[in-house]
Structure 1
Amino acid sequence: MDIETLSKEQSILRTMRKTLANVVRDVTPLGGRTNPLTADTIEGIKDCFALISERENELAELLNFDQARPYYKDGEQQNAQVISFVKPA
């Protein structure tokens, strides 16, 4: 698989995750009303989120993408210094 294919798959997974989250948000009942989704459907949604997350992690590994570090589209890492603020006594 080439990098373009992997990037396209990442884009698809990101879109699926966001859309699924929006569907869940839209059907979540307000103020004590009953949930229109069955327990099986809720479990299925949780499984979908888990599978999407798993595949996103696999793709990140294939692309040597360190998820602990920020990613910048232009490829340049920002040079930043941590400044310690100490309150004067």
Structure 2
Amino acid sequence: MARWECAIEGDGRTFDRVEDLIVHQATDHERVECEVCGTVLPDGYFAIRHAFEEHSRAEYVRAYDATAKEVRQRENVKDVIESEADLREVIDRLEGGSGSF
């Protein structure tokens, strides 16, 4: 089974389940502010998801001074997580643990 590694600020913690990684990112790391719109949200998967579902690639590139390679890497992370994760479980765990995320 693949191990999932938290890459936020060199955290490096690994998890057997992607759902555990996402919950860790949302609860154990500080929230970040979207450089495009100012929304404050959990770092990691939720920040990547927000960036690519709420904003265009061009907005992301301008706001984060990102390269095409960095954009593709984050889009790939989002796609892989969404193909593997039970996001309903993640939401249920986060809502049950803190009421919101």
Question: TM-score scaled to structure 1, two decimals?
Answer: 0.37
Q: Which has the higher contact order (CA 8 A, sep 6+)?
A: 1
Q: Which has the higher helix share?
A: 2
Larger-Rg structure:
1
User: Per residue, is there more strand in 1 or in 2?
Assistant: 2
